[in-house]
Amino acid sequence: MIDLAPLVAYPGANAIPYFDPAFPDRRLILHGARPRHYDPATPVLFVHHGVARNGKAYRDYWLEHVDEAGILAISIEFPEETFPEYLWYNFGNLHTKAGTPNPREQWTFGIDDRLFNVLQAQSITRRQRYGVFGHSAGGQYVHRMLSFGYRDRVAVAVSANAGTYAMPDLEIPWPFGLGETELTLETLKPVLAFPITVMAGTEDTKTTGKFFPKGPRSLRQGAHRYERAHNYVRMGQRVAAELGTTCGWTVIDVPNVGHSGKAMSAAAAPVVAARLHASEPLLTGHARD
Residue 87 placed within a domain: yes
> Strands 130-135 and 72-77, how do they pair?
unpaired
Which residue, among 88, 132, 139, 93, has the nearest Cα to 113 in the 3D structure?
132
Average pLDDT over residues 43-49: 98
Give per-residue pLDDT as tens, 188-219: 999 999 999 999 999 999 998 888 999 999 99
Cα separation, 95 vs 93, in Å, equals: 5
Q: Read off the pLDDT band of 289 (50, 70, 90).
A: very low
Q: pTM for the whole thing?
A: 0.96
Q: Is the pLDDT of residue 276 over 70?
A: yes
Average pLDDT over residues 59-88: 97
pLDDT over 90 percentage in the chain: 92
Task: Name the amino acid, one letter, at 215.
Answer: G
Q: Read off the pLDDT band of 286 (50, 70, 90).
A: very low
Q: SS in 3 state form for 36-89? A: CCCCCCCCEEEEECCCCCCHHHHHHHHHCCHHHHCCEEEEEECCCCCCCHHHHC
Residue 289 placed within a domain: no
> How big is the chain by its Cα radius of gyration, in Å?
18
Q: What is the pLDDT of residue 43?
A: 97
By three-state DSSP, how is residue 181 classified?
A: coil
Give per-residue pLDDT as tens, 97-144: 988 999 999 999 999 999 999 999 999 999 999 999 999 999 999 999
CB 187 within 8 A of CB 243: no
Residue 19 placed within a domain: yes
> Strands 196-201 and 130-135, how do they pair?
unpaired
**Number of separate domains in the chain:** 1
Cα separation, 94 vs 72, in Å, equals: 29
Residue 200 placed within a domain: yes
Cα separation, 44 vs 162, in Å, equals: 22
Cα separation, 105 vs 119, in Å, equals: 20
Q: What is the pLDDT of residue 223?
A: 97
Residue 288 placed within a domain: no
Q: What is the pLDDT of residue 284?
A: 64
Cα separation, 18 vs 33, in Å, equals: 16
Q: Average pLDDT over the chain, rounded to whole?
A: 95
Residue 283 placed within a domain: no
Q: What are the distances in angstroms from CA 171 to CA 116, 167, 219? A: 34, 10, 17
CB 229 within 8 A of CB 162: yes
Cα separation, 29 vs 20, in Å, equals: 10
Q: What is the pLDDT of residue 281?
A: 65
Q: What are the distances in angstroms from CA 75 to CA 68, 140, 181, 271? A: 18, 15, 28, 18
Question: Sheet harboring 44-48: ordered strands across?
Answer: 12-19, 27-34, 72-77, 44-48, 130-135, 154-160, 196-201, 250-254
Cα separation, 44 vs 270, in Å, equals: 14
| Domain boundaries, position 225 | 5-277
Rounding to the nearest 10 degrees, give the CA dihedral for residues 126, 265, 132, 144.
180
- Here the CATH number for the domain that contains residue 222 is 3.40.50.1820
Give per-residue pLDDT as tens, 215-257: 999 999 999 999 999 999 999 999 999 999 999 999 999 999 9
Residue 284 placed within a domain: no
Residue 244 placed within a domain: yes
